[in-house]
């Protein structure tokens, strides 16, 4: 049965950082270097980027306080058996992986009535988790395979990239596909495609890279052969984003043009693992970009490189620098590159009569970001980022 072979046995890790960083263990530092996606990765220092995928048997103490709901299964409604259709979530296992139909809700859109980046990131997390649920492997509490559990291994995310060509609008129905694949010898990829249900056109693409960590030593681990045997049958070759050599993100320092300091996680930034969630990272990055730029531009791409978890007690600084190779400093001879960077806005500028120089005088189209936590002796990198932007087209204002 073809459909069967496309259920995926892998957990997905919601990208987050732990709130427990007070007791730093020196053993947790300077983890192994691993080869992922064909290029050597930098040393990764992540303590407990643990998965929530396995929390199918969530214990909620308040459930039975009145005695009228005795069985958690009745309430939870998370599939714990392998299944192909989830009518409540409008999800199903397809040849491409897992597909879920989603309606963009009123509170998921911003002032321009299109889905916010935060909403899109949330939907990526949600569909990935639902994909794992459909696989029926969540009984162990972490979503790890039997081979992973035996070896005390968990998944941690090291990189995430999202490209958004068109933001879905309020009320729009989209289909989100997600699937997993190999990433180098020891890693896993999880990809996503967001498509218009009406036209099938791709609105957004995303890919993420995951590595295994020994839960006890907190060191990154090679993938044991028995785990490879378990999970590799579910890998797909297909890629949402073609990228042969992942772009490197430079490390910013205190000379960065924009900086916001003293950022502190709030209670509402914590997710069900009591970790600061990934969406908050992105919000912090955006806050360092000048409002004037944000008002006239729309994010078309973001890359996140995770370095270490940040804790609820961390004091975070968000640094941001317009890219040297952005449109500001591009020469006239690099039309094609400019066009890639600035996308459709470039063409529209020309049409509007501003010409090429009009575009060149615009704010730069790319930013490099760094979130870092104030350390006792030195600052510690949490996540590096790269954002790409295109000019907003004029929208009809909402007349009140």
Partners of residue 154 on adjacent β-strands: 213
Binding segment for a second copy (CB under 8 A), chosen from 26-34, 86-94, 184-192, 246-254, is: 86-94
Interface with a second copy in residues 61-80 (CB under 8 A): 61-63, 65-66, 68-69, 74-78
Q: Establish if 14 lies at the interface with a second copy (CB under 8 A).
A: yes
Site track for a second copy across 248-277, x = CB under 8 A: ------------------xxx-xxxxx--x
Q: Is 273 a catalytic residue?
A: yes
Interface with a second copy in residues 271-330 (CB under 8 A): 271-274, 277, 279, 283, 286-287, 291, 294, 298
Which of 31, 44, 46, 129 binds a second copy (CB under 8 A)? It is: 129
Q: Which of 17, 130, 131, 273 is catalytic?
A: 273
Shortest CB 245 distance to a second copy, Å: 28
Q: Which is nearer to a second copy, 141 or 224 (CB)?
A: 141
Which of 225, 331, 378, 398 binds a second copy (CB under 8 A)? It is: 398
Within 8 A by CB and 6+ apart from 68, the residues are none
**Nearest-CA neighbor of 145 among 17, 211, 54, 79?**
54
Q: Is 342 a catalytic residue?
A: no
Q: Backbone dihedral region of 353: left (phi > 0), alpha (psi from -120 to 50 degrees) or beta?
A: left
Q: Which of 275, 277, 320, 369 is catalytic?
A: 275
Q: How many residues does the chain have?
A: 400
* Dmax (CA) of the chain: 73
DSSP letters along 176-241, please? EEEEEEEETTTEEEEEEEEEETTT--EEEEEEEEEEEEETTT--EEPPPHHHHHHHGGG-----SS
Q: Which of 310, 320, 342, 369 is catalytic?
A: 310
Which of 96, 126, 228, 293 binds a second copy (CB under 8 A)? It is: 126
**Nearest-CA neighbor of 251 among 388, 371, 373?**
371
Partners of residue 174 on adjacent β-strands: 102, 196
CA separation for the pair 320, 254 (Å, rounded): 10
Q: Helices 335-342 and 344-351 sit at what angle, rounded to 10 degrees? A: 110
Q: Which is nearer to a second copy, 199 or 242 (CB)?
A: 199
Which of 37, 48, 317, 388 binds a second copy (CB under 8 A)? It is: 48
The pairing of strands 39-40 and 35-36 is antiparallel
Q: Which is nearer to a second copy, 37 or 56 (CB)?
A: 56
Interface with a second copy in residues 94-123 (CB under 8 A): 101, 103, 105-107, 109-114, 116, 118, 122
Total of residues contacting a second copy (CB under 8 A): 83
Q: Establish if 202 lies at the interface with a second copy (CB under 8 A).
A: no
């Amino acid at each position: 049965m073809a459909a069967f072979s496309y259920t995926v046995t892998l957990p997905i890790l919601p990208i987050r950082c732990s709130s427990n960083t007070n007791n730093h263990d020196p053993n947790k530092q300077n983890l192994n270097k691993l080869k992922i996606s064909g290029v050597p990765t930098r040393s990764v220092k992540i303590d407990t980027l643990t998965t929530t995928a396995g929390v199918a048997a969530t214990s909620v103490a308040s459930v039975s306080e009145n005695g009228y709901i005795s069985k958690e299964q009745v309430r939870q409604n998370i599939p714990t058996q392998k299944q192909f259709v989830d009518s409540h979530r409008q999800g199903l296992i397809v040849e491409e992986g897992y597909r879920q139909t989603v309606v963009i809700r009123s509170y998921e859109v911003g002032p321009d009535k299109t889905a916010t980046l935060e909403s899109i990131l949330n939907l990526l997390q949600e569909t990935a988790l639902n994909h794992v649920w459909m696989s029926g492997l969540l009984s162990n509490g972490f979503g790890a395979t039997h081979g992973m559990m035996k070896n005390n291994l968990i998944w941690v995310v090291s990189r995430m990239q999202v490209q958004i060509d068109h933001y879905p609008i309020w009320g729009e129905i989209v289909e989100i596909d997600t699937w997993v694949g190999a990433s180098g010898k020891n890693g896993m990829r999880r990809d996503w495609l967001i498509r218009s249900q009406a036209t099938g056109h791709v609105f957004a693409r995303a890919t993420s890279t995951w590595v295994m960590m020994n839960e006890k030593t907190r060191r990154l681990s090679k993938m044991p052969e028995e785990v490879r045997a378990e999970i590799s049958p579910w890998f797909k070759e297909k890629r949402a984003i073609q990228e042969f050599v992942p772009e490197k993100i430079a490390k910013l320092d205190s000379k960065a043009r924009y900086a916001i300091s003293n950022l502190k996680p709030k209670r509402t930034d914590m997710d069900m693992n009591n970790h600061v969630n990934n969406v908050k990272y992105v919000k912090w990055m955006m806050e360092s970009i000048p409002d004037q730029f944000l008002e006239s531009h729309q994010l078309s791409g973001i890359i996140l490189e995770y370095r270490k978890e940040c804790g609820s007690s961390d004091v975070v600084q968000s640094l941001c620098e317009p890219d040297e190779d952005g449109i500001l400093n591009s020469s006239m001879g690099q039309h094609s590159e400019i066009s890639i960077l600035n996308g459709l806005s470039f063409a529209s500028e020309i049409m509007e009569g501003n010409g090429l120089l009009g575009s060149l005088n615009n704010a730069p189209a790319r930013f490099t970001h760094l979130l870092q936590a104030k350390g006792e002796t030195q600052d510690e990198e949490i996540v590096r980022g790269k954002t790409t932007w295109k000019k907003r087209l004029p929208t009809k204002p909402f007349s009140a």
